[in-house]
Amino acid sequence: MYLHHLTVQAFGPFARTEDVDFDDLTQAGLFLLRGDTGAGKTSVLDAVCFALYGTVPGIRPTHRLRSDHAPTDTRTRVVLEFSAAGRHLRITRMPKQTYPSARAKSGTATAEATVQLHERTGTAEDPTWEPICANHQDAAREIEAVLGLSKEQFCQVVLLPQGDFAKFLRSDAKDRAALLRRLFDTQRFQELQNWLTARSKTAKKDLDDVATAVQQLSERIDQEAGPSLQQADNTTAQLVRPDAGHPAGALSWAQQLLARAHDAQTAALEDEESSDQAHQRAKQDHQSAVDLQTRQHQYSQALAQRTALDHQATDHPRLRQQLENGQRAETLRPLLDGLERSALTLQKAQTAENTARGLLEATHAHVEIPQLQTALEQHHAERGRLQGLLPQEEHHAELGTQMAELIKKAEQAQGHHDEATQWLEAWPGLEATHTDRVTAMAKAADQVPQLERDIESLDTQLAAARKRNTLAASLATAQETETKREAEALHAKKDWLDLRERRLDGMAGELAAELNDGQACTVCGSLAHPAPAQLRPDQPTREHEETARALYEQAEASLSQASRTRSELAEQHAQALGTAGSATPDQLESQLQSARAAHKTACEQASNLPSAQEELDRLRHEYDARTRQRQEAQDRLTECHARHKALEQQQHTISLALDTARGTAQTLSDRMNELTRAAEHLASAIDAAQTTATAADHLREAQTTTDRAALDAGFSTRDEAAEALQPAALLQQWREELQQWDNDNAVVTDTLSTPALLEAGAQPPADPQAAAQTLLQAEARLKETAGVSRQARDRLTALTKLVADLEARLRDLEPLQARYALTDRLAGIASATTAANTLTMELEAYVLAARLEEIADAANARLQAMTSDRYLLVHSDEKEAGRRGRLKAGLGLRILDTWTGTERETSTLSGGETFTASLALALGLADVVTQEASGRPLGTLFIDEGFGTLDEQNLQDVMDVLDQLRAGNRTVGIVSHVAELGRRIPSQLSVIKQRNGSTLRPLVSADL
C-alpha cells in the first residue's frame, strides 16, 4: 500500500483544511513527521486509520474526532488517496457530528457518518474517478480485500504505535498470546481443539448411553420376567441376572427367560379355556331358575287379581243406570244452559234500568220511554243555543288579556323612560372625566421613545465604565507580569549561553570520552589515542545544553504571551474609557434607575390609552342610545293608555249578554256540561228500559222450548231432566271404570288358562339365588384365568421387544468403543492432557509458538544489523507457572548477548537497547503478519517515537536498517521530535502548534 494524498478538515487539532502530498514527501523513501509535544503528529496517523477503517487506533470514540477549534459551520472530513493491489483508490469519510440548523436559528441538526469510495480509471494527468460504494459495510469489505489487513493488523504492522514498541517485547506469555491470537486469527485452532474435546465427550457420552441402556434393558427384563420365571422348579434350573460387566451373559439370560415366557403363556391359555366352559354351564342353570320363578310369580298375581275384580262387580248395576240417565240428559244440556243464561240476563237488565232511572230528575224517574225521549230532545236544543254564545265568551276573555298586557307594557315603558332620564342627567360630568384621562395617556405615550433611547445610552455607558475599571486593574497586573517575564527570559538566555560556552570549552574531553582502542578518532581519524583529554568535573553534557535551551525558549514564549496579553488589555481599556467618560459606575447606575422608573411609568400609562379611548367612544355612543330610549319610552306610554280605554268599553257590552245565558253556572262551558250530563242520563235510562223488555221476551221463549225437549227425551218435567244431568267428566270416569273392569277380567281369565303358568304353579318354588352363587363362582374363576393369560401374553410381548432392543444395543457397543478411543486420544493430544503430547502444549499454543519463532527469525535479521551483531532474540519453549501453563508454553522471548554468550531476560536491556530490540521485533512482526494476511508487500510504514533513547552509534545503525527498508521500495515515515533526526532526514512534514489549531507544513529537500 502506498499513500498519495491526505486531506483533513476540522479533524483533531487541525481547525482548518490541511493537505499532505505524500508523493512529493516520500520521493526519497524516508521522511520525518516532526512537531512539538501535543501538536498533533499522531493525529496524522489517526486520520489515515480513520479514512481506511472508520475508527482510530485504540478505543477512542469517533464522536470526539472533531476539532474544538473549528468553526461550527465547518464539517469534519478526511480524504485519503492511496494505491494497493494494483488499484488507485480515494476514500472520503465524515464522522457523525452536529452543526447549526438552517431552519431553526438557535437549534442544531445531526449529520450521520458517511463514506464514499472511488477508484481512478484514467491517467494521472487526466484522472476519472468512478464511484464504488457509499455504504459502510461495503466500503469495509473493499478496503480489507485491497489491503489484505484488518484494522488490528494494520495498526500493528503499518502504524507502529507510540509506546507499544516495548510492550510486546516485555509482555508476559498471556498478553503475548492475546496479541498473536488477534493478529494471526488462530481462534480456528482453538475451535478445532474445542471441537475435538467436544467430539471426545460426545463419543464418551454415546458409549455411556449404550452401556446405560444395556443395564436399563437388563433391569427392565428382570422386572418384566418377575420371580416366577427365574425360580427353579422340578423341570428347570433357577436363572440369575449377570452383572453389568458381562453383556454377552445378559443376552443368554434374557433369551432363556423369553423361552420360559412362551411356555407360561401356553399353560395359561389352557386354564382359561377350561374355566370358560364351566362358566357357560353355570350361566344356563341360573337362567332356567330365574324363568321358573317368573312364571310362578305371574300365576300367583293372576289369582289375586281375579279375587279383586269379583269384589268390584257388586256395585256395577246401579252405576250403569246412572250412566244411562246422564247420557239422555246430556242432549238437553244446551237448552238448560240457555234457559239459565236468559234468566240471568233479565235480572241484570232490571238492575241496570233501576240504576239508570236513579240518576234522573224526580219528574222523569217513573215515566215511560216516550216521555223520556221528549225530555232528551229538549236538552239537545238548549245546548245548541249555548254553543252559539261560546265565541262571545272567548272574546270577553281575550279582551281582558289584552288589557293586562297593555298595563304591563306601560309599566315597562315608564321604567325605561326613568332610567334613561337619570343617566342623561349624569352625562356632562362623566364626559369631562374621561376626556381628561385620554389626554394625559396620549402625552405619556409620546415620551416613551425618548426614554428608551436614554436607557440604552446609560446602559452602554455603565457597562463601559465597569469594564474600564476592571481592565485598569488587569492592565496593571499584565504590565507587572510582562516586566517579570522579560527578566526571566534574559536570565534564561544568559544561563543557556554560559552553559553552551562551558561545553564548547570542554568539547575535547567529551569527544575523548567516546574514543575506544582500535576505533578511529572522529576528529583526526587516528587509531591511536596516546593522550586523550579529560572531562572537567563540571563539564556540561548535550542534555544539559538542550535543557537550558528549552528553558530559554519556554521563557521567550511566556514573554511573548505576556506582551500580547498586555497589548490586548491596553487596547480594550482605551475603548472602554472613550465610551464611559469620567463618570463613576454609581453615578451612572443612579441615572439609569431614574430613567427606567420614568420609562416604566410612561409605559404603564401609554398601555392603557387604547382602552381609555375605546371607553370614551363607548360612552358617547351610549349617550345617543339613551336619548333615543327616553323618546321611544314616552311614545309607547301614550299609545298604551289610548288602547286600554277602547278595550274596556267592548268588554262591558259582552258581559251583559253572557250573564243571562250562564244562569247559576260560572261559565257557558259549565252550563253546557250540566245539560250534557242530564242528556246522557236520559239516554242511558231509555237504553236500559228497552234492554229489560227484550230480555223478558227471550226468557219466555226459552222456557217453552226446554219443556217440549224434556218430554221428548223421556223426562216428565224440565226439573227432572236437570236433576239427571251430570258433569261430563264424571260420566267419562264411569264409562272408563266399567271398560277397564271388562278389559282386566278378560286378561285375568286368559292368564289363568295358560298351560305354562298352570304347570309352573303345580311345581315346587324355584331357587335362583343358589344358581346365582354358583354362577358368581364360575365368573370369578374365569376372570382369574383370563388375567393370568393376559399377564402371560403381555409379559411375552414386552420380553420379546426388550430382548430385541438388547440385541440391537449390544451390536452398537463395539464401534462406539473404537470411536471413543480414537477421539479421546486426539483430544488429549490437542489439549495437552496426555503423555502422547511430548511438548505439553495445546494446539493453539503450538501454532502461536511457531508464529513467534518466525517473528523472532525475521526480527534477528535486522536486530543484528542494529546492534553490530551483538544481540539476538531467542524463542523459548519453557512453560510459565500457573494453572494454564499449557497455553503459555512456547511463547517466551529472551535476549542472547553474543559478546558474553549468555541469555537473559528482555527486561535487563537499557532504554536504547529496548527500543532497538522492540523496533526489530515490530518490523519482523510486520513481515510475518503481512505474509500471513495477504502476502502483499507493505509499501508504507510509520514508526512513532522512541528514537530519543538512542546514542549516536545506535541511531546510525537503526537508520542503516531503515535505509534497507527504503531500498526495498518501501516508504518509511518516522514520527519524532528528536533534533538529530531533523538534520539527518531532509524530507519532513512539520506540525505547528498554535492557539487556534495546528497546521501542517511539508518541507522537502531544498526547502530546509
> 384-428: per-residue pLDDT in tens?
777 777 777 777 778 888 888 888 888 888 888 888 888 888 888
Predicted confidence (pLDDT) at residue 62 exceeds the cutoff of 60: no
For residue 672, pLDDT over 60 is answered with yes
pTM across the whole model: 0.41
Higher local confidence (pLDDT), 169 or 489: 489
What does the pLDDT average to over 580-604?
Answer: 82
Residue range 517-536: average pLDDT?
68
Cβ atoms of 84 and 146 within 8 Å: the answer is: yes
Grid coordinates in use for 147?
489491503
CA 71 → CA 9, 28, 76, 97, 99, distances in Å?
A: 11, 37, 10, 13, 10
Q: Is the pLDDT of residue 144 over 80?
A: yes
Determine the average pLDDT of the residues in 890-917: 78
User: How far is residue 400 from each of residues 124, 307, 640, measured CA to CA in Å?
Assistant: 119, 104, 14
The whole-number average pLDDT for the span 897-911 is 80
CA distances 163 to 338, 742, 955, 975, Å, are 137, 133, 18, 12
Answer whether 224's CB lies under 8 Å from 798's CB. Answer: yes
Which range has the top average pLDDT, 676-685, 935-944, 946-955, 977-986? Answer: 676-685
Check residue 1007 and give its pLDDT: 44
Comparing 436-440, 949-953, 981-985, the range with the smallest average pLDDT is 949-953
pLDDT tier, 93 (very low <50, low <70, confident <90, very high otherwise): very high
Average pLDDT, the chain: 78
Examine the pLDDT at 617 and tell me if it is beyond 90. no
Quick one: pLDDT at residue 80?
93
pLDDT (0 to 100) of residue 114: 92
Q: Is the pLDDT of residue 663 over 50?
A: yes
Predicted local distance difference test score (pLDDT) of residue 7:
94
pLDDT in the model for residue 106? 58
Residue 78: per-residue pLDDT:
94
Q: Which residue has the higher pLDDT, 295 or 550?
A: 550
pLDDT at 881 (0 to 100): 45
Mean pLDDT within 682-709: 82
- Low-confidence winner among 465-469, 492-496, 557-561, 914-918 (lowest mean pLDDT): 914-918
Range name among 230-244, 356-370, 948-962, 987-1001 with the lowest pLDDT average: 230-244
Other Cβ atoms less than 10 A from the Cβ of 130: the count is 9
Residue 688 pLDDT greater than 90, yes or no = no
Q: Does the pLDDT at position 967 exceed 60?
A: no
Burial of 271 by CB count in 10 Å (0-12 exposed, 13-18 middle, 19+ buried)?
Answer: middle
Residue 364 scores a pLDDT above 50: yes
Each residue's pLDDT tens digit, 922-964: 777 777 766 665 555 667 777 775 565 666 766 776 777 676 6
How many angstroms separate the CA atoms of 589 and 583, rounded?
Answer: 10
- Classify 154 as helix, strand or coil: helix
Q: What is the mean pLDDT of residues 498-514?
A: 70
- Using an 8 Å Cβ cutoff, are 923 and 953 in contact? no
The pLDDT-based confidence of 90 (bands split at 50, 70, 90) is very high
Pairwise CA distance, residues 697 & 43, whole Å:
139
- The residue-averaged pLDDT of 701-722 equals 80
Positive/negative CA dihedral, 882, 886, 887, 888: positive
Mean pLDDT across 530-549: 76
How far apart CA 952 and CA 964 sit, in angstroms, is: 19
Tell me the three cell numbers of residue 872.
Answer: 539476538
**Across residues 298-311, what is the average pLDDT?**
79
Q: Which of 253-267, 403-417, 510-524 has the highest mean pLDDT?
A: 403-417
Would you state the pLDDT for residue 885? 41
| Percent residues over pLDDT 70 in the chain | 86
Rounded mean pLDDT of 780-793? 81
CA distances from 263 to 374, 786, 793, 947 (A): 128, 16, 11, 99
Q: Which pLDDT score is estimated for 936?
A: 59
Mean per-residue pLDDT, 679-683: 81
For residue 356, is pLDDT > 90?
Answer: no
